[in-house]
Amino acid sequence: MRTPIIAGNWKMNKGPKEAAELINALKPLVKDAKATVVVCVPAVDYAAAKTALRGSKIKLGAQNVHYKESGAFTGELSAAMLKEAGVEYVIIGHSERRQYFGETDETVNLRVQAAVEGGLIPIICVGEKKEQREAGYTDALVAYQTLIALTGLTEDQIKKVIIAYEPVWAIGTGLTATDEQANETIGVIRSAIQMKYGKRVSDKVRIQYGGSMNPKNVNGLMAQSEIDGGLIGGASLKAEDFAKVVNFE
């Protein structure tokens, strides 16, 4: 019912030359993918990536967007700039942005609104830290993070956003949530959306799992009823590995 979506988050890896090489290697390997495929590349790679992506269905994604249209915001990029550069998807509120760059639920929400208004599809990241899971706060936290991020959007806009559930303790650590843990928490996120916006909306929202997802664990995770895709860090940097995730069974 929901088309799966697999997105690569390259983080601060690969300049334009390597970006083109990776995309060119990836293209033939994912040409028959059933899933929507996205590569979220560093900003300096947009032009090279756009050229390399010609003739493929792989979509271009960014890793952040600012919430103002223009102005004195050194180092930031607006939704209109991303759009003009050919970007269609944008990761917002990744835990690394929250942890190292001071992003809050409120700024995440502003960025989500700016992205949607600017015609981009946000991939909104939520997830708990290890101590929050151990203290039993996971469900309340992810529900809150999700609803705050969606504030101000219309129901039709919400249907099109992507949520990525990324337990912080599983990112880049080799630790993955079990299939059941990931499914259960994604179910909590969907219920939170349902309670506020109704089932017609919550049934449409695609919710990914992220955190050490790789060719070995992708099939188990994707077999879960609530999991609609993945946000892939480390394993998106090698064409063969990312293709195996994209072509999950």
Helix (H, G, I), strand (E, B), or coil: what is residue 143? Answer: helix
Identify the active-site residue in 103, 128, 166, 226. Answer: 166
Distance CA 51, CA 181 (A): 39
Q: Residue 118 or 211: which CB sits closer to ligand PGA?
A: 211
| 103 carries an active-site annotation | no
Q: How far is the CB of 98 from ligand PGA (least distance, A)?
A: 12
User: Which residues bind to ligand PGA, rule: CB under 6 A?
Assistant: 9, 166, 171-172, 210-213, 231-235
As to burial, measured by CB atoms within 10 angstroms (0-12 exposed, 13-18 middle, 19+ buried), residue 146 is: buried
The residue number with the shortest CB distance to ligand PGA is 233
Distance CA 52, CA 86 (A): 12
| 166 carries an active-site annotation | yes
* Residue 116: how many other CB atoms lie within 10 Å: 21
Q: How far is the CB of 247 from ligand PGA (least distance, A)?
A: 17
Q: How far is the CB of 171 from ligand PGA (least distance, A)?
A: 4
Q: Residue 4 or 234: which CB sits closer to ligand PGA?
A: 234
Per-residue tokens: 158 = 């919400």
Q: Residue 49 or 201: which CB sits closer to ligand PGA?
A: 49
Distance CA 232, CA 7 (A): 6
Q: Which amino acids are annotated catalytic?
A: 94, 166
